[in-house]
Each structure stands twice: as C-alpha cells, then as structure tokens.
C-alpha cells in the first residue's frame, strides 16, 4: 500500500506538534524522518514514529529543548541538544558547522544530549547547496560486537559524506559501519529467510544465519564480518564514529548509549548525556575554486559510472545513485508502507486525534 509524501509529511508533523514540538521544529523533524522513507531506508523513517513517541512518553525526549552551543572556536563547536529529538538537534548542529565553514573554511560540531537523528545522509546533504562537502555521523544503541568479543559495545554507527559535482548529481555515501544494517534482518525475518554468513554472530560469538541471532543475545558484526575479512577495520570505523560523536562532546559512548526502544532502560550510571553526533562542513573553495573541483568530480563520476562491469552486472554505481532514483520514484508514485507500519500509524493517529 502506497502513501503520498505529502500525506505522510502532514501526519508526521501533526504528531510531533501533538507531543509538544513547536511548529517549525515539528516540520523539520517530519522532513528529516521522511527523508529516510523517500531514500529507501524504510527502517529509519515513519516506521519509527511511534518509537519516538514512546520515548517522549517515557520522559526521555524533550519536545521543547533549548539547543545551544556550549563551547566553540573559529572552526569547532560543541552543541548541547537538551534531550531534544535528534531529528531537530542534528539540523541545528549541521547548520552551525556550515556557518563556521563560511568563515573559517571548515566547521566541525560534536553534539551531546541528543537522541536518534534519522538517516545520516540527510544532514550531510545540507552542505551541498553551499558548495561544501558535508559529513555526518552518530553513535547508536549497542548492537555490535568488536572483533573477538561476545559483548555488544557499539551501535551500527553510520558515516555519511556528501560531495557536490557539476553536471552530475552529488556523490552521497551513507553507510553503517557494520556488514548489514539491523533493518535488513527485519526484512529477512518477515520473509522467513536466512541471513548470509558474516552478518551476525550468536550469543557465544559463533557465526549464525538466523535472522533472530541478535534478538537471541547475539550481535551484528562490524564491516568485514570476521578478522580474516577485515572486521577489525569495521570495528575501528565504528569506534572512531563513537569517539568523535560522544567522547569529544560529553555524550554516552559504547555500551552506555541509551537504547532507542522505550522498554529498555538507559544505564543508571551513564558516562555522559544522551547520545552523540558529529558533523563536518568543508567549503570547497577553501581548497580550490569550486567550479574546478566540481568539473573534476564530473570526470571522477563519469569514469566510475562507465567502468567495465562483471558479466551479469548492469552497471557500476556511484554512492547515492540508488537512493536518488528511489526518491524520484517515491515522490511521484508514493511511499510503500508495510501493513504493520500502516496499522501502527493509524493507531497513533487515533490516540492523538490526528487523521491518518
């Protein structure tokens, strides 16, 4: 069943207003949340709306935060999200990075006391219209074991980098530092399919293909899967995201990151405040004339796009291609929602007196 972007946007914005968000922030939050549905990251879009509401009901989200810069230099800032929606805190912080870059060449902002911020790529892409490179990362609820461990100490900690081109669409990489995102396991579960080896381990750290592996006490694996295939590199990437997002800002890190689901309690002895993000903006002409750079990005993109393919493969993709194509399609013919998600939204609407 497909729904128009406009319908879902209006509904989502209304729900955020119902929980007390000021109108402008409700609009920002709805836009950020729905960018996930448009770009095909269905696990991070409206499917999570009722999850955010449950966190608010548990007094773990502040609908009227006073988001502010608590420390800064010409090219850096630390932002305190005051327990607000990450969907609102993140665009604020990314804007600070962009404003810093306008003057100092680059801007780098670490954020504490925030919540889950939707998809990483959406925030990085804010830089593009300013002829800047945008960078966005966040830590997240612990579901990932470092190489050799049975404990879940890291989130899927994504990294996004958005880079403008000239005639070509921008390069937009947005990926978890794990082999597969958690959302993919949910899809397999629904289809009653097994997961490929290298995605997850069971509670003893043994490879498993059960899509319930994580739920049953196992963990997602860092990109690489096992030591022989470079999982120590995925672990290092996830660790870097965690440290930049939370140790730099004063948020919770590692196993202390508060869980997204309201039925799990945050650690009673936190090491910081909320969860953390990290944003960067680099003005292209702080390095070389923007037009020259963007012409070279066109050459780069064209060369990779036209690369010879392995037999049976249609084409080599540029990061951001699949999401952009999906967004065009979904803006025109609508966003598909699974039945349980639709029912969940309908129930949410009834609860708050908002028509779905």
Provide, rounded to whole angstroms, the least separation between the CB of residue 65 and a second copy: 20
Binding mask 1-30 for a second copy (x = CB under 8 A): ------------------------------
Binding of a second copy by 326 (CB under 8 A):
no
Q: Are 354 and 59 in contact (CB under 8 A)?
A: no
Binding of a second copy by 228 (CB under 8 A):
yes
CA distance 164 to 154: 31
What is the maximum alpha-carbon separation in the chain? 55
Please list every residue from 41 through 60 that binds a second copy, using CB under 8 A.
none
Binding of a second copy by 125 (CB under 8 A):
no
The stretch among 32-40, 71-79, 328-336, 343-351 that binds a second copy (CB under 8 A) is 71-79
Among 24, 263, 264, 308, binds a second copy (CB under 8 A): 308
Mutual angle of helices 5-18 and 339-352, in 10-degree steps? 40
Residue with tokens 């804007």: 95
Among 86, 121, 211, 254, binds a second copy (CB under 8 A): 254
Q: Residue 168 class from Cβ within 10 Å (0-12 exposed, 13-18 middle, 19+ buried)?
A: middle
Among 1, 148, 336, 343, binds a second copy (CB under 8 A): 148
Among 175, 186, 342, 356, binds a second copy (CB under 8 A): 175
Residues paired with residue 76 on neighbouring β-strands, in sequence order: 73, 108
Among 61, 96, 119, 247, binds a second copy (CB under 8 A): 247
Please list every residue from 278 through 307 that binds a second copy, using CB under 8 A.
282-284, 286-288, 292-293, 296-297, 299-300, 303-304, 307
Sign of CA dihedral 145, 272, 66, 351: positive
Q: Are 273 and 252 in contact (CB under 8 A)?
A: yes
């Amino acid at each position: 069943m497909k729904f128009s972007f406009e319908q879902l946007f209006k509904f989502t914005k209304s729900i955020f207003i119902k929980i007390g968000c000021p109108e402008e922030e409700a609009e920002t939050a709805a836009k950020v949340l729905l960018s996930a549905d448009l770009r095909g990251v269905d696990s991070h879009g409206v499917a999570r709306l009722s999850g955010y509401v449950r966190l608010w009901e548990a007094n773990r989200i502040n609908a009227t935060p006073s988001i502010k810069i608590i420390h800064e230099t010409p090219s850096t800032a630390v932002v305190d999200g005051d327990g607000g929606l990450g969907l609102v805190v993140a665009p604020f912080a990314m804007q600070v990075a962009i404003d810093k870059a306008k003057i100092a060449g680059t801007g780098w902002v670490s954020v504490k006391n925030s919540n889950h911020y939707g998809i990483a790529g959406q925030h990085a892409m804010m830089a593009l219209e300013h002829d800047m490179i945008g960078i966005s990362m966040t830590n997240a609820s612990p579901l990932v074991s470092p190489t050799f461990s049975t404990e879940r100490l890291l989130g899927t900690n994504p990294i996004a980098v958005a880079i403008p081109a000239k005639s070509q669409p921008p390069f937009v990489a947005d990926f978890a530092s794990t082999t597969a995102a958690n959302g993919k396991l949910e899809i397999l579960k629904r289809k009653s399919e097994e997961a490929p080896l290298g995605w997850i381990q069971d509670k003893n750290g043994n490879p498993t293909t059960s899509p319930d592996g994580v739920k049953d006490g196992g963990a997602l694996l860092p990109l690489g899967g096992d030591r022989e295939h470079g999982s120590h590199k995925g672990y290092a990437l996830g660790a870097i995201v965690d440290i930049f997002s939370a140790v730099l800002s004063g948020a919770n890190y590692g196993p202390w990151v508060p869980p997204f689901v309201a039925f799990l309690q945050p650690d009673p002895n936190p090491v910081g405040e909320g969860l953390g993000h990290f944003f960067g903006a680099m003005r292209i002409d702080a390095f070389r004339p923007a037009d020259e750079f963007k012409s070279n990005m066109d050459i780069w993109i064209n060369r990779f796009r036209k690369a010879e393919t392995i037999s049976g493969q249609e084409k080599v993709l540029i990061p951001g291609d699949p999401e952009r194509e999906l967004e065009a399609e979904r803006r025109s013919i609508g966003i598909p929602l699974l039945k349980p998600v639709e029912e969940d939204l309908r129930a949410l609407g009834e609860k708050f007196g908002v028509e779905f």
